Amino acid sequence: MSNAAAPYDALVNATQRDAGVQTDAVQVARTALVAHTGPVGARHGWLVLHGILQRAAEFVRPWTRIDGRDGRRVLAPEGLSRIITDFETDATGACWTTVPDREIEMHDAFAWLDLCWQRLDAEAGDGARVLVGFSQGSIVAARWAVARGHVWDAVVLWGGVVPSDVDPAALAACSRDGAVHIVVGSRDSLADDERRAKQQARLAAAGVRLELVTFEGGHRLDDATLSALADTLEAR
């Protein structure tokens, strides 16, 4: 998707137009949520995207626990779609996109992330700029990064892979070092050996360098790994 948004009603999936019923896409104002940590004016700026059924306020907490937090402004926008995950406690999760309505949801998510990028650029100093997407957030991060073409110190896909509809070389060009950055737990059930091998083969075929970081654990963030990553990227 390019910067020039398609007509909104053209984003309706064709499969919704059957049996004599037509669905129109109507653009409305939305109220979005963004969690944040670190002082306004901090040198470094991070934009971090949560995974499916997570909430931004919980997702951003690891950045409050690692060293250097006073020098780092972190914004965690929340996906625009929410669902109750436990009807007894009213626990709620958020997500970025579904399959049937992907074009509409990506259109809205990109516009939301554009606003967050502008805010981050205004609230952080001249240090590192890092984009992190976790799980489903990594898919959105990769697509948005390539669509907009901002150059980050790194675009980090944590617990995810380069989406099939994203050119690995175009994604690598969004990181200042020209690499694709992936972080994955050794016991991540969504990134088994076969999937990792396919991803590495795809990047190699595209002539793209892979910066791979692994840690002992499953499909989650890891404080020690995050801290080391921040030290590396912010020192550049």
Segment 156-191, tens digit of pLDDT: 999 999 999 999 999 999 999 999 999 999 999 888
| CATH class for the domain made up of 33-234 | alpha beta
Average pLDDT over residues 198-210: 96
What's the pLDDT tens digit per position in 121-137? 999 999 999 999 999 99
Cα 82 to Cα 52: distance, rounded to the nearest angstrom: 10
Query: 38 or 88: which carries more pLDDT confidence?
Result: 38
Contact 134, 159 (CB under 8 A): yes
Binning pLDDT at 50, 70 and 90, where does residue 3 land? very low
Average pLDDT over residues 69-95: 95
Query: Angle at CA 101, nearest 5°, toward 98 and 105?
Result: 80
Residue 123 has phi, psi (to 5 degrees) of -100, -10
What's the pLDDT tens digit per position in 25-75? 888 888 999 999 999 999 999 999 999 999 999 999 999 999 999 999 999
Instruction: Decide if pLDDT at 225 tops 70.
Output: yes
What sign for the dihedral angle of Cα 100, 166, 226, 197?
Answer: positive
Instruction: Decide if pLDDT at 9 tops 80.
Output: no
pTM of the full predicted structure?
Answer: 0.91
For 109, the token pair is: 């998510």
Using CA atoms, how far residue 229 sits from 65, 183, 203, 210, 217, in Å, is 14, 9, 21, 15, 16
What pLDDT, on the 0 to 100 scale, is given for residue 17?
58
Average pLDDT over residues 1-10: 50
Binning pLDDT at 50, 70 and 90, where does residue 12 land? low
Binning pLDDT at 50, 70 and 90, where does residue 194 land? confident
Cα 174 to Cα 156: distance, rounded to the nearest angstrom: 10
What pLDDT, on the 0 to 100 scale, is given for residue 113?
98
